[in-house]
Amino acid sequence: MAEPEVTLKDVETAAGVLKGVSHVTPIEKSKTLSEMAATDLYLKLENTQRTGSFKLRGAYYKIWTLSDSERKRGVVAASAGNHAQGVAQAATLLDTSSTIVMPESASPAKVDATKGYGARVVLYGKVFDETLEMAKSISQKEGATFVHPFDDPTVIAGQGTVGLEMLDAQPDLTVLVVPVGGGGLISGVATAAKTINPKIRIIGVQSQAYPGMYSAFHTGKLFPIKAQDTIADGIAVKQPGKLTYKLTRRLVDDIVLVSDVDIAEAIFLMLERMKLVAEPAGAASVAACLSGHVKAHGEKCAAVVSGGNVDMPVLDQIVAKGLEREHRLLRVRVALPDRPGALKDLLDVVAQSRSNVITVDTDRLGADVPIGMAVVTLVLETQNVEHTRTLVAALGKARLKYKIIR
């Protein structure tokens, strides 16, 4: 039996079905990021898509292709995030029931969002493999259609509409940069883009912690990889699909890796400079451009920001670390005599340096705090590295015993 294929015609058919359902998301050039990446850098903003990611496209098209009897029996999916929400919303739009199996550790916000789109949510499994097996078991037991997150030709065709929109808006693009987890998005985008313009370069981006497609692409062998922790959970896939691997090997020019630090810096820059919220997986493409892993000097390059569903605690941590990296947030621990007026003297030094106090924490009873002393931890807002140096110099001049906390 011949393996299923995906063609430009399939993607165009999906685009017709999705018209008026999924948003034609903006593709915007950033002057600041272009200068930093030394290229004309455009961002395809799938973080502004319905459900907050590109996943609605493939899910909707897949469910749309089902027969009436199949739709009556409903659909099932396994996902910790964006695929869950995409399938739930698509099923509701097509008047079909959906059951989404999510890991027990899934973010409460994502669980609530999935329920809000109309799905029945089942929490099962400590690792995703257990979650996936439960979803397949429910699918078989209830006769419901299992909607694969990436290794399905219909899903791939739906995701490929992202590429169609990019070249429709900017026909002279020479490089497309796409985040890669299981490979559904890049397979679809590459199918559309390479057929329209065979000379265009397609670059995939994976997390260093989950280099499944990267390893398969560069070795020519499909195998599960040993994974590590990463903030980019949306592209944390141990092994890509057979079809997506085949399409990627044939159509994609290169796959590169980025670190969590690269991703966090990209999120911080997009948030501050462009007022855009991107999730770690969605920011991976921009991270690759800014960190120099994508070689596109002077070219017209577009990066797919594939999603914006970032957990607020993660975003808070990324912003705090970004401010620290730019010397705009300083944490300092100071040992003071435990007497009236000592804290005021410290805060006077801070005020005279024109630094803003964010938080103050005082410890008199800790095991490492000498009797008669108190340890004060300050979180301070500063302007830049020179301002920080001025503050540190003032602390030294006041003969205060301090330590900068990194």
**Residue showing tokens 């799938």:** 46
Last residue of a domain, one of 276, 291, 326: 326
Q: Catalytic residue at 207?
A: no
Domain boundary among 274, 308, 326: 326
Q: What is the pLDDT of residue 1?
A: 45
In this structure, the answer to whether residues 320 and 349 fall within a common structural domain is no
> How far is the C-alpha of 191 from the C-alpha of 8, rounded, in Å?
6
Mark whether 141 is an active-site residue. no
Q: Which residues of the chain have pLDDT under 50?
A: 1
305 and 350 share one domain: no
Is there a single domain that holds both residue 112 and residue 256? Answer: yes
Judgement on whether residues 305 and 371 belong to the same structural domain of the protein: no
Supply the pLDDT for residue 129. Answer: 77
Last residue of a domain, one of 299, 326, 353: 326
| Domain shared by 30 and 110, yes or no | yes
238 and 340 both lie in a single domain: no
Asked if residues 32 and 263 have their Cβ atoms less than 8 Å apart, the reply is no
User: Which pLDDT belongs to residue 108?
Assistant: 87
Q: How do residues 241-297 score in pLDDT, each as one tens digit?
A: 999 999 999 999 999 999 999 999 999 999 999 999 999 999 999 999 999 999 999
Scored b (16 or more CB within 10 A) or e, 164-195 reads bbbbebbeebbbbbbbbbbbbbbbbbbbbbbb
* 216 and 339 share one domain: no
Catalytic residue, from 44, 53, 55, 79: name it.
Answer: 55
At residue 2, the pLDDT reads 54
Range of the domain at 361: 327-405
What is the layout of strands, in order, in the sheet containing 120-123? Answer: 120-123, 98-102, 75-78, 145-146
Tell me, yes or no, whether 203 and 322 share the same domain: yes
Give the mean pLDDT of the chain.
94
Residue 398 sits in a domain of what CATH number? 3.30.70.260
- pTM for this one? 0.90
What is each CA distance from 160 to 11, 55, 163, 195, 359, in whole angstroms? 6, 11, 5, 12, 48
What single DSSP character describes residue 2? P
81 shares its domain with 213 = yes
Q: Where are the alpha helices (DSSP H) in 65-171?
A: 68-73, 82-93, 108-116, 128-142, 153-169
Residue from 22, 79, 306, 355 carrying the catalytic annotation: 306
Q: Give the chain's domain count.
A: 2
Q: How far is CA 342 from CA 46, 73, 348, in A?
A: 53, 71, 10
Domain CATH number, residue 218: 3.40.50.1100
Same domain, 334 and 309: no
Residues 152 and 210 in one domain: yes
Statement to judge: residues 46 and 154 lie in one domain: yes
Specify the residue for token string 């670059």. Answer: 203
